[in-house]
Structure 1
């Protein structure tokens, strides 16, 4: 388990079909249950199909690790979620409903905190509304803690790899003042959708071709705009992306390709859980490479090429985040995608 004061977090994704009872919680300091819904009246609710798993999440993961803290992550990247959150944040009365119901739901089910997964606010107006939401949410959890004499609920949020999106900037001062930390989703810099004509490293620590598209630049930019390193938790992807090579003999980074490949039937968008990457390597006797310039892993077999994070790249990021930058920690998306907990045990 990570040392005191370091966040080593992991997400459980309700759609992953991974049992909560199988989570090796001793490897984590914080576990996030993803994702709670926001209904048309802006009440935070559990997904109907997974209601029991959310209700028993904290109790279940604390069987193995009584000290692990749990947080309820709200929102996510499903279609329509961002517009619902934008509508909620746009009016004070809507924010009040959202905030009150989130606190009530968290307390009723023994969560230690809340996480906003708004992917992503992208206009100046939405960023201003996000600022109001964060201020009001923090005030509400402070008041609730005083009234109940319970420890204040933690408040966190997932954010884009850059503080700037579509010419809008996150409310960095409000983030620093009101959140305990943010999860910087420093991955998906390249995917088969964004780079259909050539392979590319999905989440490199460094990038000599485009210095702005890498973990290092992402973290440096967030610090530059005023968010302290101890408020930053870097996202670690327990998944990769698959491309179709034009020519099997050209198989390095930025090799000619033509879109996504589906590996072992695991994905329709080209993303591949780490456990499936390892199966692909074994089944296809794929060649594996750790590129020491970009600090990223990839493998290939025939015309299939995968970019992903394996032990070498995860260790590089953990070392970078903790020893070089002094970040608060790191978080994995998602624990059910790991291969026999090999990535979770790093750091």
Structure 2
């Protein structure tokens, strides 16, 4: 009887823990409508949300335009970016109540028309105090409109999310943290692009360092900034890059982080690029006599071959960051972007990490239960 009781309780705990991970943890990634990576190839067990990029704000009408409606599918969220022809489209749209309403109404219409579950705003980045104020107003009015539409249509509310700077402060401008938290379901914190050879050409960098003893810029400092601004950790989704950057070393024998460099290396794998996606990186390492290294202080990887040096996130970095996000109490993680992964390596890793954490929770709960019987 005791064994049967224990077994049934263990099965219940398994169900509870896995349902928490499956239903409450956000595991998301961005995917482009015109991607060569078809939706049918995406492992649905790896992600809870796909952010379909991108819809654009028309700089003249301020309505939302979707680039390719034929590829819009149910169960996904729509990512909204600035207008193609005018970088100030979002700023202009948010500048008064009338244009904000035009945008909001059109976004809800498109969201419902193509059975999206939510809408994600990718404004990179509000550049004035007025922009930040208007962003807060936009979020408030957007939430009110989504609630009203849900009541009228008797459908679940559309999710509202936003991609934001790694820190709550951008160029000395503070995000409207309170309005953002009150009105969005979560924020996607872009904890990457901290260093690239185009704007930091003279020294190699960790493009997405979790910690950084050499700089105030890191994933941890950014998350801490959002929390210190009063933003709830459980509404933060941590960003993971599925790409890195390539520098050209000045000296092949000096090849660590902050090594002297001569700007971008544009010859990786024969491509005229310095932004190296995971797929291409795996091929580069396999085809060349390449040395790889992991720096636990920064939580970042790099590899080098001759004077070619690439900073990126590999398995150990991603694993550590998912652990960090979980430990901070954050809602989950997102990756930029899904079709850059190689053979689902990083996507599988993230799911495995969450499962391992679930088993840890099970052992704690079982231990507490057994102690209660003594």
TM over 0.5: yes
Contact 2:56 2:84 in 1 (8 A): no
**Structural mapping, 1:34-45, within 5 Å:** 34-39=53-58, 40-45=60-65
Equivalent in the alignment of 2:179: 174
- Of 224, 242, 250, 1:238 maps to 242
Backbone CA RMSD of aligned residues: 1.5
Deviation at 1:265, TM superposition (A): 4.5
- Of 329, 334, 357, 1:331 maps to 334
**Structural mapping, 1:1-347, within 5 Å:** 2-39=21-58, 40-47=60-67, 50-54=68-72, 57-58=73-74, 69-75=75-81, 82-210=87-215, 212-262=216-266, 263-266=268-271, 268=273, 270-322=274-326, 324-347=327-350
Compared CA separation, residues 26 and 174, structure 1 to 2 (3 A): same
Deviation at 1:258, TM superposition (A): 0.8
Supply the distance in 2 between the matched residues of 1:15 and 1:245 (Cα, whole angstroms).
35
Deviation at 1:195, TM superposition (A): 1.4
Question: Unaligned 5+ residue runs, structure 2?
Answer: 1-17, 351-374
Compared CA separation, residues 14 and 267, structure 1 to 2 (3 A): farther
Compared CA separation, residues 175 and 35, structure 1 to 2 (3 A): same
Compared CA separation, residues 219 and 83, structure 1 to 2 (3 A): same
Contact 2:244 2:276 in 1 (8 A): yes
Contact 1:242 1:271 in 2 (8 A): yes
Deviation at 1:81, TM superposition (A): 5.4
Equivalent in the alignment of 2:372: none
Compared CA separation, residues 18 and 265, structure 1 to 2 (3 A): farther
TM-score (norm 2): 0.85
Compared CA separation, residues 197 and 81, structure 1 to 2 (3 A): same
Compared CA separation, residues 26 and 312, structure 1 to 2 (3 A): same
Supply the distance in 1 between the matched residues of 2:33 and 2:269 (Cα, whole angstroms).
21
- Structure 1's consecutive aligned runs of 4 or more residues displaced over 6 angstroms after TM superposition are none
Equivalent in the alignment of 1:66: none
Bigger drift between 177-186 and 255-264 goes to 255-264
Deviation at 1:79, TM superposition (A): 6.2
Bigger drift between 8-17 and 21-30 goes to 8-17
Supply the distance in 2 between the matched residues of 1:113 and 1:156 (Cα, whole angstroms).
8
Compared CA separation, residues 109 and 305, structure 1 to 2 (3 A): same
Q: Secondary structure at the match of 1:247?
A: coil
Contact 1:266 1:276 in 2 (8 A): no
Compared CA separation, residues 93 and 265, structure 1 to 2 (3 A): farther
Supply the distance in 2 between the matched residues of 1:265 and 1:169 (Cα, whole angstroms).
42
Deviation at 1:25, TM superposition (A): 2.0
Supply the distance in 2 between the matched residues of 1:166 and 1:92 (Cα, whole angstroms).
26
Compared CA separation, residues 228 and 337, structure 1 to 2 (3 A): same
Contact 1:73 1:116 in 2 (8 A): yes
Deviation at 1:15, TM superposition (A): 4.6
- Higher gyration radius (CA): 2
Deviation at 1:326, TM superposition (A): 0.7
Compared CA separation, residues 128 and 265, structure 1 to 2 (3 A): farther
Deviation at 1:52, TM superposition (A): 1.5
Supply the distance in 2 between the matched residues of 1:265 and 1:17 (Cα, whole angstroms).
20
